[in-house]
Amino acid sequence: MDGNGRWAKMRGLSRTAGHTKGVETLRTIAKKCYDIGVKNLIVYAFSTENWNRPKLEVDHLMKLLSKHIVNFAEELGDRKVRIKTIGTRDGLSPQLIAAIDKAEQATKNNPMTLYIALNYGGRREIVDAVKKMSHDGALNNLDKIDQLTEDDFAHYLYASEIPNVDLIIRTSGEERISNFLLWQSAYSEYVFTDTLWPDFDETCLINAFEEYTTRNIRKGGV
């Protein structure tokens, strides 16, 4: 959800105002995705590197997340959207953790999932998976290690049920992966747009889907 800061700056507003507007965009896009039958929507809300931003901005983002994760659960829960976060909880406040638990619990049986990548890093996810495997005894002896498959490994990621990601949309003209879904994006199509996240509307979403459908997806075949 890139471009909140620039969107705000262009209007003489604080960066935090850009993030607040970004939440509104997410609400619109999540509803649209539900209405057109998307089963899984994953948004990158806060990376493990975002702690390096000014404290005022980090504090604002944490407040926004605490408030809106619960709001989303109430509002989008009526639309049958399940809220699920992926990431590490290290460093999150008890209030935010409580909000996450509440939202996840209240929406756990809903059919569409809005995954919120929060305190998330793709490399960290892979290292955390290896740690979990070791604790589980899945790497206890050489036989187990030799027989390990990709599916076995994927089982230890933050949300093992996330399928191969079809499409990744990056807004604001940035054209990097930025440590997002390193494992799950192995076969993803990327759509890059100059539109800043707060300006990303339903038409932009449909345009990205249309671009996706024109791609020739071979997954290594011919």
Known catalytic residue: 50?
yes
Smallest gap from residue 174 Cβ to ligand FPP (A) = 7
Does position 172 interact with ligand FPP (CB under 6 A)? The reply is yes
Tokens found for residue 92: 């999150």
3-state secondary structure 93-104: CHHHHHHHHHHH
Q: Which of 2, 4, 110, 119 is catalytic?
A: 2
Smallest gap from residue 49 Cβ to ligand FPP (A) = 9
Strand order across the beta sheet in which 81-86 lies: 40-47, 112-120, 81-86
Please state whether 54 falls in left (phi above 0), alpha (psi between -120 and 50) or beta. Answer: beta
Binding mask of the shown chain, residues 5 to 24, with x at each position contacting ligand FPP by CB under 6 A:
xx------------x--xx-
| Cβ-based nearer residue to ligand FPP, 72 or 156 | 72
Does position 50 interact with ligand FPP (CB under 6 A)? The reply is yes
What is the total count of residues that contact ligand FPP (CB under 6 A)? Answer: 21
CA distances from 107 to 99, 169, 213 (A): 12, 25, 31
Helices (H), 137-201: 142-147, 150-154
Does position 121 interact with ligand FPP (CB under 6 A)? The reply is no
Which residues touch 10 (CB under 8 Å, ≥6 apart)? none
Positions touching ligand FPP (CB under 6 A) are 1-6, 19, 22-23, 26, 43, 45, 50, 61, 64-65, 68-69, 72, 116, 172
**Which of the residues are catalytic?**
2, 50
